[in-house]
Amino acid sequence: MHDERRRIEERVERLHNQRIKPAIYAATVPFEVEAWQAPGEPVSFEEAAAARYAPFAMDTPWGPPWGTTWFRMRGEVPAAFAGKRVEAVIDLGFVGDWPGNQAEALVHLPDGRPLKAVNPLNQYVPIANPAAGGEQIDYLVEAASNPDILANNFAAPTLLGDVLTAGDRPLYAFQRADIAVLDEEVWHLDLDLQVLLGVMVHLGDHEPRRHEILHALDRAMDALDLDDISGSAAAVREVLAPVLAKPAHASAHTISGVGHAHIDSAWLWPIRETKRKTSRTFSNVTSLADEYDDFIFACSQAQQYEWVRDNYPHVWARIQESVKKGQWAPVGGMWVESDGNLPGGEAIARQLIHGKRFFIEHFGIETKGVWLPDSFGYNAAYPQLAKLAGNEWFLTQKISWNQTNKFPHHTFWWEGIDGTRIFTHFPPVDTYNARFSGEEMDRAVRNYSEKGAGSRSLAPFGWGDGGGGPTREIMERARRLADLEGSPKVVVEHPDEFFAKARAEYEDAPVWNGELYLELHRATYTSQARTKQGNRRSEHKLREAELWATTAALHAPGYAYPYEKLDRLWKTVLLHQFHDILPGSSIAWVHREAEAEYARVAEELEVLTGEAIAAFGGGEPRVFNTSPFDRREVVRHGEGTTGWVQVPANGSAAVDNAVPDDLVIVEDRALDNGYVRVELAEDGTLASVFDRRAKREVLADKGNLLRLHTDLPNYWDAWDIDKHYKNRYMDLVDIESVQVIERDALVGSIRVTRAFGKGSKITQTITVRSGSPRIDFETEIDWHEAEKILKAGFPIDIRAPHSSAEIQFGHIQRPTHTNTSWEAARFEVSGHRWVHVAEPGYGVAVINDSTYGHDVSRTVREDGGTTTKVSLSLVRAPRVPDPEADQGKHRFTYSLLPGASIEDAVAEGYALNLPLRVADSAGEPEPVVSVDGEGITVEAVKLADDASGDVVVRLYESRGGRAQGVLRTGFPLAGARVTDLLERPLTEDEAAVDGTVPVTLRPFQILTLRLKRAEVN
């Protein structure tokens, strides 16, 4: 047989694209269209309905960036359309084929009910099937003219990312608003061809099935009448029917399709636009569910459900009905799909608590899995947190983006730092926006790592990132691929069903221990520093407000615990932990609003904490310690005075004005407090840090060396830092001034000021205090660089085989060598409040109050000693998608802690992030709880969410070893129960013995206790 593949393939391609697709809509009549441009921000339907509309013609430009134009569309179904499937077809002037980052619209009926949305790949609105003819159509269409931020493929900065800079030039030209007849036979023919072509081109040339499909397609085109596409479509389909009916091989891979619409809660659009995106996507999804009984849609992010509930009650009612029918599956159990590295441990717990509780309360459904397809790596505490929230499985996709190493598993057990394991799956289709294309089906099978042990994988299908969701075309492709030779089998089902089947066939799946590190998007640990600082400060201020509100509720008669306010503030912080807000990868508008929200949250929490402390009554100055560790340190009070305080964990104490023995000696370029001696070089760097207790020099070279690197990654500017950044840099050693600014007996400070680059300036105040080896670097930066990253380096004279970095509820160890490509790929990593390096007998910690990105490396010196260098990433200057990212002023503190154990690092990490609070108080309330037992750390103290008056305490083991101890309460205790994260009992109530609760923890174990208060007569 002659090889005619090229002729046939080119023939089919031309006829498919040029004749069949254009014939899908057989007949059309235009709507009469009028328009009204809403001023400013979006308006309600009622306001839009009452507005004055003007005639509007097709091809007319409309839509300034971030604007809203309402279109009134009126028409009548012609009598000639009777008995046919009639739809409205609307093209707003769409660009490209991505629904999420351009014009979108929601179609309303005259009574205000949202009917369905339109986007580039979902342009229709059902009218009648079959039509009677004469139907009167009246729509109000809310069209959003969102700019295409990705128009230049992220190649250059754009001012379109903020309504303040985007201008007002119309972005789109309206192309089409028609009443049209859908020719169902032609439409189905188009889908038959899509599926067969997709299967065929991904089969090998040696496969008989490829040639069978090829020649069937050739014969089918012979049956196509070019003068009557509609009339011949059925005959063409008859020719194709036999090859579409051939079943898949018995051993074919099975793909569980789960409807999905990844909606970023903010990214290339602001939060206000996401609220509208949810209404559009969810309208489409519930409409699709009415068409397809076998359709199932998985949807996460309780926050988005709440937006729909509050703003679109008709859409909310449709969601509730779809949930009842089993077609809508709430998943994920988190408030938003948060970043996987940056939120604190308690914050991730609250993500799970608030998310799962929402679905339980509103749908009676307890979600079983964590659904995080798009976050940028996942911390090693997740398995334990997920299990403690009642989850059985974990799903993500993003690790498939690894830049260097291919992750070895798709289905596996993920083991966390405490030993907890959770059943985990990475869809081998390598996307969370699957469309059941031939390419995707082929990739899923080729990619699947578990061949021979497992036989199934999951594919989330539907348009996403900016929403859109599944379409009827995707559902039709899934039906054709259900059992088709040459392709994996496709079954649309609930993700819980997939995970149950996958686990049943592969119970002994391999184990991956530790973090799921994404070898990409490493700059998200640093970009948009003010957003990250707002999150860190908010997390700690929430802890503080909850602790003192609980203390006041227990000890201050008449004080009312602020349940509603704390709940609302927590949800605000949780929202901004979304994986394109907190990582710093959103447009300028998003980060501008995030900074304003964090300021508002801080102000409200200051008021709540102040009210709680004031409930004890006025009196003498007292110091309040929110940290879980006893503290003995210098505190400021009054007009610049300093004093000593020794204050218990979670408690308060009076200021001690006695002068201690270990005073601070200040020289021109040296600070000495008997613990450490710090000497500055002529250029303002650290020439020496001598640990007097250990009698050893801490540094191997200049310390606190600020290094400005060129930072232009290969593609994703705000997301990525590529390894070549290390090759070009400038050390900031020029100084404007070095001056002593404080010579107090208890505090000594030297200030160093530098100017550099394009008008940037950095001022650092280096401080030591009496009684502590900690050296603080209070830093103010006025930053005006572009495509740069600033790092602060500490070359420490230690041979450390690994570094330890704090993560959620514990810490993780990472090798300092680069023996393999896996270690080499971790050239930038995340950590929370501290990084620790040590050799036997001696360690040093670097602590921070708002920095997450860092790197640790080591070299061997000529003298044979080893230098372990810890560098903090302080601030970046990406230009895409926010051209002004990080520009302006920043204030933060990082610290060097010589002679530190892990426990010291933990305690000082809390201390730096939870500064002592001085306030007038008449009361001396006992701490709500105190703990005897090394390594047992209190993370949260609050009243139970059910307003029962019970006290909830969350503890964890923080050193990485076993711990035993006793928890004591500052109130009469009747009993204690271990609970899950949702405060539901896991054990029977245990009677308290003398107001104490015994505590035994394995390494890094998290324990939530619900303490019942005894009745007091």
The catalytic site residues sit at: 374
* Secondary-structure breakdown of the chain: helix, strand, coil percentages, each rounded to the nearest 5: 25, 35, 40
Distance CA 805, CA 836 (A): 6
Closest Cα partner for 495 from 278, 328, 383? 328
Among the listed residues 597, 547, 544, the one whose alpha carbon sits nearest the alpha carbon of residue 573: 597
Distance from chain centroid for Cα 742 = 42
> What angle, rounded to 10 degrees, do the helices at 208-222 and 184-201 form?
150
Q: Which residues pair with 1006 in a beta bridge?
A: 956
Rg of the chain on CA atoms, in Å: 31
Choose among 940, 976, 936: nearest CA to 956: 936
Beta bridge partners of 921: 620
The DSSP annotation for 111-174 comes to: TS-EEEEEBTTB-EEEEESS--S--EEEEEEEEEE---TTTTTTSS--GGGSTTTS-----EE-
Instruction: Please report, for residues 266, 585, 787, 879, the alpha-carbon distance to residue 588 in angstroms, rounded to integers and kept in the order given.
Output: 11, 9, 16, 10
| One-letter amino acid for residue 769 of the chain | R
- Check if the beta carbon of residue 108 is closer than 8 Å to that of residue 140: yes
Residue 883 to residue 834: CA distance in whole angstroms = 30
Can you read off the two tokens belonging to residue 888?
A: 């302006």
Residue 933 corresponds to which amino acid?
Answer: G
CA distances from 56 to 35, 168, 323, 548, 762 (A): 6, 19, 40, 60, 56
CA dist 834 → 696, 780, 802 (Å)? 22, 20, 14
DSSP 8-state class, residue 925? P
d(CA 206, CA 171): 49
Amino acid residing at 892: F
Collapsing DSSP states into helix, strand and coil, what is residue 617?
Answer: coil
List the one residue out of 373, 120, 161, 343 whose CA is nearest residue 270: 161
Q: What's the sign of the alpha-carbon dihedral 770, 774, 777, 778?
A: negative
* Phi, then psi, of 35 in degrees rounded to 5: -140, 155
Contact partners, residue 221, CB within 8 Å, separation at least 6:
11, 12, 15, 236
CA gap 926, 969 in Å, rounded:
8
Residue 94 — φ and ψ, nearest 5°? -60, 150
Q: Residue 558 contacts by C-beta under 8 Å, 6 or more apart in sequence?
A: 615
- Give the residue carrying structure tokens 């309905």: 49
Q: Burial of 447 by CB count in 10 Å (0-12 exposed, 13-18 middle, 19+ buried)?
A: middle
Q: Decide: 467 and 100 in contact? Cβ < 8 Å.
A: yes
What is the phi-psi region of residue 909: left when phi exceeds 0, alpha when psi lies from -120 to 50, beta otherwise?
A: alpha
Q: 701 CB contacts (<8 Å, ≥6 apart)? A: 795, 867
Could you give phi then psi for residue 972, rounded to 5 degrees? Answer: -60, 125
Q: Map tokens 């490829």 to a residue.
A: 210
